[in-house]
């Protein structure tokens, strides 16, 4: 693959935001542990430093899961991309012109089959497969259904795992391991 592999920092502890902004080569940051009280300020800090903001709408503390909440993410909190696992919610979010990242948790054969079935009719910007070991195993099967952009997440905590993910065909990874944020893979 000739494109640079993306390493997107996942900020679980706000103390690491400055490190992500200064050391991260990528243009996006995932705010994993935000709530409606701090999201606007964190988003402003990221944008002032040239970084786009990703949130998982299911993990933003105090945020509802309806169209009004998603409009607030866009208009009040200035979020750039949204992660979620519900097809109906992600369709609402896509219609609001967000970059959409569909999260697929590979827990068992039923979850894999349900995800593959749902992806036949729906197209999002990026598909997130998790956790790492199952994502590697099932990426070829998902590519048969949708040949788009895939990220790997969940236990991506070493440089070796990043390299293996790139070789497997993932376009990027999201990781909370701050030692990996400045790497070029």
Domain that holds residue 141: 6-175
**pLDDT at 138 exceeding the cut of 80:** yes
Mean pLDDT of 93-116: 96
**pLDDT at 2 exceeding the cut of 60:** no
- 107 domain-assigned: yes
**pLDDT at 19 exceeding the cut of 70:** yes
Mean pLDDT of 116-123: 85
Q: What one-character DSSP code corresponds to residue 14?
A: G
- 126 domain-assigned: yes
Q: What one-character DSSP code corresponds to residue 35?
A: B
- Helix H segments across the chain? 17-23, 39-48, 67-75, 87-95, 109-118, 132-145, 159-168
- Per-residue model confidence (pLDDT) at position 148: 94
- Per-residue model confidence (pLDDT) at position 122: 78
What percent of the chain lies above the pLDDT cut of 90?
95
- 182 domain-assigned: no
- 1 domain-assigned: no
- 184 domain-assigned: no
Contact between 57 and 93 under an 8 Å Cβ cutoff? The reply is yes
Instruction: Tell me how far apart the alpha carbons of residues 119 and 108 are, in angstroms, rounded to a whole number.
Output: 17
Mean pLDDT of 86-111: 96
The enclosing domain of 169 has a CATH number of: 3.20.20.70
- 13 domain-assigned: yes
Buried b (16+ CB within 10 A) or exposed e, 55-79: bbbeebeebeeeeebbebbeeebeb
- 180 domain-assigned: no
- Per-residue model confidence (pLDDT) at position 1: 41
**pLDDT at 113 exceeding the cut of 70:** yes
Mean pLDDT of 24-45: 97
Q: How confident is the model at residue 62 (pLDDT cuts 50, 70, 90)?
A: very high
Say which residue, 3 or 11, is predicted with more confidence: 11
Instruction: Tell me how far apart the alpha carbons of residues 101 and 83 are, in angstroms, rounded to a whole number.
Output: 5
| Count of domains for the chain | 1
- 67 domain-assigned: yes
């Amino acid at each position: 693959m000739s494109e640079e592999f993306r390493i997107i920092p996942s900020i679980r502890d706000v103390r690491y935001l400055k490190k992500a902004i200064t050391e991260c080569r990528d243009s996006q940051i995932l705010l994993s542990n935000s709530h409606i009280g701090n999201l606007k300020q964190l988003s402003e800090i990221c944008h002032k430093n040239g970084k786009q903001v990703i949130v998982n709408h299911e993990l933003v503390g105090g945020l509802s899961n309806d169209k009004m909440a998603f409009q607030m993410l866009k208009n009040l909190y200035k979020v750039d991309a949204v992660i979620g696992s519900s097809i109906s919610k992600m369709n609402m979010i896509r219609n609001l012109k967000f970059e959409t990242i569909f999260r697929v948790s590979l827990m068992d054969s039923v979850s894999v089959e349900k995800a593959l079935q749902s992806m036949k009719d729906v197209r999002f910007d990026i598909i997130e497969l998790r956790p790492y070991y199952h994502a590697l195993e099932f990426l070829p099967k998902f590519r048969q259904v949708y040949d788009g952009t895939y990220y790997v997440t969940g236990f991506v905590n070493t440089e070796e795992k990043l390299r293996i993910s790139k070789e497997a065909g993932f376009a990027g990874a999201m990781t909370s391991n701050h030692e990996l944020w400045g790497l070029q893979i």
